[in-house]
C-alpha cells in the first residue's frame, strides 16, 4: 500500500511538472540548420565561445531601450546587416508585433511548439515578428532571428496599436 501511494504521488507530481513546463519554460528548442541537420539551440543564445560572436543589438521603443542578441545563423547575420533599422510594426493577436520588410531572411523554417515573449522570428520569409507574450504556436513556421535579454516592460512599451521601433 505504501508503494502504491508513492507511485501515485510520483505520477501526480510528474503530471503537475509537465503542465508547468509550458510556453517559456522549456530550456531548449530544436533548430534545423541550412544544411538540414538538426541541432539543439538554447532559447537564450549562449555566450560567444571558440571565436564565434553573438551580434548584440538594442531595440528602441519610444523612450525605452531593450538589449538583445541575434542568432548565430545566416538569418541573424542578415538582420544585423540591415541595422540601424527603423520600422513601424503592426499589432497582431495581442501577443506580437510584425512588419513585412520586403527583404528575405535566409534559413529553414521551423514550427516551434511555443513562442516566447522577447523572441524575434521571420515569418513567410520576409516578415519580422517580435513576440511580447508567451503563447502556443498554431503550426506556423518561422526562422529564428534572436531574442531580447529581458521582457520586463516590453508589452507596455509596445502598447496596443502599431508602433515605431528602431534596431541599432
Report the alpha-carbon distance of residue 158 to residue 14 in Å, rounded. 37
Report the alpha-carbon distance of residue 101 to residue 89 in Å, rounded. 10
The strand pairing partners of 147, in sequence order, are: 69, 119
Residue 159 has pLDDT above 60, yes or no: yes
Matching residue, cell 507574450: 133
Candidates 153, 144, 156; CA nearest to 66 is 153
The answer to whether 78 and 143 have CB atoms below 8 angstroms apart is no
How many structural domains is the chain composed of? 1
pLDDT digits (tens, 9 = 90+) for 11-52: 333 333 332 333 333 333 333 333 443 333 334 333 333 324
The strand pairing partners of 167, in sequence order, are: 59, 85
* Residue 54 pLDDT class (50, 70, 90 cuts): confident
Would you state the pLDDT for residue 3?
Answer: 37
> How big is the CA angle at 58 (ends 155 and 166), to the nearest 5 degrees?
75
Candidates 115, 145, 106; CA nearest to 133 is 115
Query: For the domain that residue 66 is a member of, what is the CATH number?
Result: 2.40.100.20
Average pLDDT, the chain: 77
Q: Which domain holds residue 55?
A: 2-167
Amino acid at each position: 500500500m505504501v508503494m502504491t501511494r508513492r507511485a501515485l504521488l510520483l505520477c501526480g507530481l510528474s503530471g503537475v511538472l509537465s503542465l508547468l513546463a509550458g510556453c517559456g519554460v522549456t530550456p531548449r528548442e530544436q533548430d534545423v540548420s541550412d544544411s538540414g541537420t538538426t541541432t539543439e539551440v538554447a532559447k537564450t543564445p549562449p555566450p560567444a565561445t571558440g571565436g564565434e560572436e553573438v551580434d548584440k543589438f538594442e531595440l528602441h521603443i519610444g523612450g525605452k531601450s531593450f538589449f538583445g542578441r541575434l542568432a548565430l545563423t545566416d538569418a541573424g547575420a542578415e538582420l544585423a546587416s540591415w541595422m540601424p533599422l527603423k520600422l513601424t510594426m503592426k499589432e497582431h493577436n495581442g501577443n506580437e508585433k510584425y512588419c513585412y520588410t520586403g527583404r528575405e531572411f535566409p534559413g529553414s523554417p521551423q514550427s516551434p511548439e511555443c513562442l516566447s515573449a522577447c523572441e524575434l522570428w521571420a515569418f513567410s520569409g520576409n516578415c519580422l515578428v517580435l513576440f511580447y507574450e508567451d503563447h502556443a504556436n498554431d503550426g506556423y513556421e518561422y526562422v529564428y532571428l534572436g531574442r531580447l535579454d529581458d521582457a520586463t516592460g516590453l508589452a507596455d512599451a509596445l502598447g496596443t496599436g502599431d508602433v515605431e521601433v528602431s534596431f541599432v
